[in-house]
Amino acid sequence: MTRLLIIGPPGSGKGTQAARISERLGVVAISTGDIFRANVKEMTPLGVEAKKYIENGDFVPDSVTNNMVRDRLHQEDVIDGFLLDGYPRTAPQVIALDEILAEKDAKLDAVLLLTANDDELVERLLKRAEIEGRQDDNADVIRHRLSLYHQETQVVIDQYQDRGIVREVDGLGEIDEVTERVLAALGAE
């Protein structure tokens, strides 16, 4: 069974790599961004609450996020493992994920940390916003999201580094090159 996280700043290629790695390892990729967007689109109570934070470029509160992730990790398709993208982002979310996994007598196998330069990320995200027409990606919101990432997520990375399960990978370069670096870091080439 493979239980992985992929962490990195917005625009570092987490979603792209999560899809590729999950396919190669035969586990489901779970994006909290997709979970949020699905809940917002369906106008669920959690989605309505999450929408106001997403539109401002802020992180959705832990209570809302934890409930969405708990629900997702209790679905049948994660029995053989998962690659979770975008969660946990805060120290309390690390505790919540530990509790969710403990309910299944499970724990994480590894944390993939994609690294990238902030200026490159802003450029990437502005291009993505233009191509995809995403309202939540403009220069101010992107810089705000990067600032929040650095402020709040470093403690998450530190906690997993203390556990010895972080695999750091350079997220810049051609997509195939990054995928091969990730697989090498996992020992799954």
What number of CA atoms fall less than 13 Å from residue 47's CA on the CB side?
A: 12
Is 24 annotated as belonging to a binding site?
no
Phi/psi-derived region of residue 61, left when phi > 0, alpha when psi is between -120 and 50, beta in every other case:
beta
H helices of 111-174, in order, are 118-132, 139-148, 154-163
- Annotated catalytic residue within 41, 104, 127, 134: 134
Q: What is the model's pLDDT at position 184?
A: 95
* Farthest CA pair distance, the chain: 44
- Annotated catalytic residue within 3, 14, 72, 181: 14
Is 13 annotated as belonging to a binding site?
yes
d(Cα 99, Cα 158) in Å, to the nearest integer? 19
At position 69, the amino acid (one-letter code) is V
- Annotated catalytic residue within 3, 20, 89, 181: 89
Catalytic site residue 128? Answer: yes
Strand duo 2-7 + 28-31: pairing: unpaired
d(Cα 140, Cα 128) in Å, to the nearest integer? 15
Ranges 23-32, 95-104, 129-138, 178-187: which has the least confidence: 129-138
At position 3, the amino acid (one-letter code) is R
d(Cα 78, Cα 8) in Å, to the nearest integer? 22
Is 145 annotated as belonging to a binding site?
yes
- Annotated catalytic residue within 72, 145, 167, 181: 145
Note down the domain range covering 137: 2-186
Q: What is the model's pLDDT at position 189?
A: 59
Does 136 have pLDDT greater than 70?
no
Is 3 annotated as belonging to a binding site?
no
Is 87 annotated as belonging to a binding site?
yes
- The CATH number of the domain where 58 resides is what? 3.40.50.300
Percent of the chain whose predicted confidence (pLDDT) is above 90: 50
Each residue's pLDDT tens digit, 63-121: 888 988 998 898 899 988 999 998 898 889 999 999 999 998 999 999 999 999 999 99
Is 82 annotated as belonging to a binding site?
no
Q: What is the model's pLDDT at position 148?
A: 86
Each residue's pLDDT tens digit, 152-171: 888 999 999 999 999 999 99
Does 178 have pLDDT greater than 90?
yes
Higher pLDDT: 92 or 189? It is 92
Number of domains in the chain: 1
- Please answer whether residues 116 and 11 qualify as being in contact, where contact means their C-beta atoms are separated by less than 8 angstroms: yes
Is 12 annotated as belonging to a binding site?
yes
Catalytic site residue 145? Answer: yes
Sheet containing 2-7, strands listed edge to edge, beginning at the edge strand earlier in sequence: 28-31, 81-85, 2-7, 110-115, 166-170
Show the beta-strand stretches assigned E in 51-109: 81-85
Q: What is the mean pLDDT of residues 40-52?
A: 87
- Annotated catalytic residue within 24, 70, 128, 143: 128
Catalytic site residue 89? Answer: yes
Total-model pTM: 0.83
Catalytic site residue 134? Answer: yes
Q: What is the model's pLDDT at position 66?
A: 92
Residue-averaged pLDDT of the chain: 89
Q: What is the mean pLDDT of residues 44-54?
A: 85
